[in-house]
Amino acid sequence: MRIVLAFMLILFTMFCLADSKLELAVNIVNRFCESDLKGARLSSDGYDDINDLVVSSDGEPGWDTLMITNSFRVVSSVLEKDNAIVLVEYTFWGQASSLGVEEISSTEIYKFELVRDEYGKWKIKYIPPFPRVSKNKTSEITGYKFKQ
């Protein structure tokens, strides 16, 4: 009976550790998405907010289009060996570019892959294309007035 109880305790402990590791990865993705909504990827100064969340932001192009984002939510997360996979559903109002602001409602699922750095901290391996910013931030930088 003690062996069965000890085995169950070990399984429970492993499950809790895996769950807390996954929760940390999900928190990193949520912090990235919140920073992106606020415009972190629109200027080099904004990258200070996300540099500790990603493997590298070097080489990201200067975007000429941004996605106007209504919302995002984590729809699933899983540990795969030494990686974490976090799926985020984005709901877009539209996009803004040098051509102006255009309403193009859409939804997209983006797969965030996270790896551990040399200190064991989760980092986002690849970030989504195009900054994903809020309507408020879009209004601030473009002057566009969204209908309430």
What pLDDT, in 10s, does the model give residues 59-75?
677 788 999 999 999 99
Any idea which architecture 2-142 has in CATH?
Answer: Roll (3.10)
CB 51, CB 42: distance < 8 Å: no
Which H or E element spans position 18? Answer: helix 2-37
Q: pTM (2 decimals)?
A: 0.85
Give residue for tokens 């901290």.
Answer: 121
Please give the Cα distance from 132 to 67 (Å, whole number). Answer: 5
Share of the chain above pLDDT 70, in %: 86
Please give the Cα distance from 35 to 49 (Å, whole number). Answer: 7
